[in-house]
A and B are shown apart, each in its own frame.
Chain A
Amino acid sequence: MSFQVQSQTLRTHAKLWDGHADDAASAKTTIEPAVGDGDAFGWLAGLNQVSDHYNTWSQAMSVALADAVKCCRYLDAALTSTANQYDDSDQTVATDMATLDKMI
């Protein structure tokens, strides 16, 4: 029995997460110059917590985007691996569980 159609569905989802990973990685690069530069708000902002809040938040956004990349790369790999497994065309292209496990 062939699972070609079903595995294609997994590949479609894998591609979706691959795209999200690329977008999140690109987003992280885009916002990087802004991360932690609360000083740009000026001295008065430093006295009134704006700079600190901004730094806390922007650093958290950068970490969140890095984590998002990691999770999306994992989902891409896990779904692709399962699709490869079910296609049964070449067992070696399936990623072993230990490798997947280390991705997140």
Chain B
Amino acid sequence: MSISYFEDLQDGIEEDLGEFLESINNEIQRIADMLNDAASGLVAWVADIFSDTVDNAIEKWNNEIHPFIIETTQDIFDNVRDAVGDLAGRPMDLIDYAGYFSSVKATIYQPGDLSQKMTIFNHDWTGYAAENYKTVATTEDTGFLNLSMALDSGATLTSAAANKILTLWRELAREFLSWVGDFIGCFSKATEADAIVSFEIPAAFELAKAIWNNIADIADILVEFLIDQATTAATSWQQLASGARGLPQNKWPMIEEANSDIMNDPGNWVPQ
């Protein structure tokens, strides 16, 4: 199953949880049948009928193991859904956004556009207005360069986050069944009454906990990545948001009124 949207991930995990529930129910049924058979003497180890082993096994199953499985299965469902919920996001939208920033960056700044035209301008015009225009034009042109650099950095950060989210989602979807399989596997050894008597609930609980802890580990990886992107990366969102990179202060260099007043007056333009 291809995972591109959070709904894909949720659907995939729900499907896996469904499989998990079916497997655990099969195990419950198998162990219950095994204990029933032992109690009724249908199996080879008849000697157990006359020992306390079967009674002890049935008592442990009824009072400890079966309630533990029911309760832990519910915990797995709740904790997995919570842990997966933390990973929600819309990476495909982010990929689109990165594409927008990147395409815009390429169109708003063309190197050399102004400088070549300025050579001819310098030959044709002089005077107070021409000097003001040259300063303003250079400032505006630099504004486009800085803006395009900011958009480029934003595109890079956005697409990196999208790819990280998708990578972690896909890892989770790929590994989830094997994590669940470890928990189910611990019951497969329970093939005889002896094994039920010696079954260790704490060890099984650790396996159950590992399922949602593995998802939490994936969330931790994403958190570390996001903290790095937010504040400490070579180009970070903090730098971009504060205008420390790209466009200074993130503000477009507006044309000052004093400069425009001079350019607006035709008398200040002197043709050469």
Q: Which residues of A contact B (CB under 8 A)?
A: 3, 5-7, 9-10, 12-13, 16-17, 20, 23-24, 26-27, 30-31, 33-34, 37, 39-45, 47-50, 52-54, 56-58, 60-61, 63-65, 67-68, 70-72, 74-75, 78-79, 81-82, 85-86, 94, 97, 100-101, 104
Contact code string B107-134 (vs A, CB < 8 Å = 1, else 0): 1100001100100110011000100010
* B219 CB within 8 Å of chain A: yes
A16: contacting residue among B85, B117, B227, B229, CB under 8 A: B117
A68: contacting residue among B144, B222, B238, CB under 8 A: B144
Give the number of residues in B that approach A within 8 Å (Cβ atoms): 69
Q: Which 9 A-B pairs have the closest CB atoms?
A: A42-B89, A53-B237, A34-B97, A67-B252, A60-B250, A53-B241, A27-B104, A6-B271, A40-B90
Given the known inter-chain contacts A16-B113, A61-B154, please indicate yes or no for A41 contacting B226, CB distance below 8 A: yes
Given the known inter-chain contacts A40-B89, A53-B230, A100-B260, please indicate yes or no for A61 contacting B250, CB distance below 8 A: yes
Given the known inter-chain contacts A34-B100, A57-B241, A57-B250, please indicate yes or no for A71 contacting B271, CB distance below 8 A: no
Are B265 and A97 interface neighbours, CB within 8 A?
Answer: yes
CB-nearest residue of chain B to A68:
B252
Q: Which residues of B contact A (CB under 8 A)?
A: 85-91, 93-94, 96-97, 100-101, 103-104, 107-108, 113-114, 117, 120-121, 124-125, 129, 133, 136-137, 140, 143-144, 147, 150-151, 154, 158, 161, 165, 219, 222-223, 226-227, 229-231, 236-238, 240-241, 243, 247, 250-255, 257, 260-261, 263-266, 269, 271-272
Are B87 and A34 interface neighbours, CB within 8 A?
Answer: no
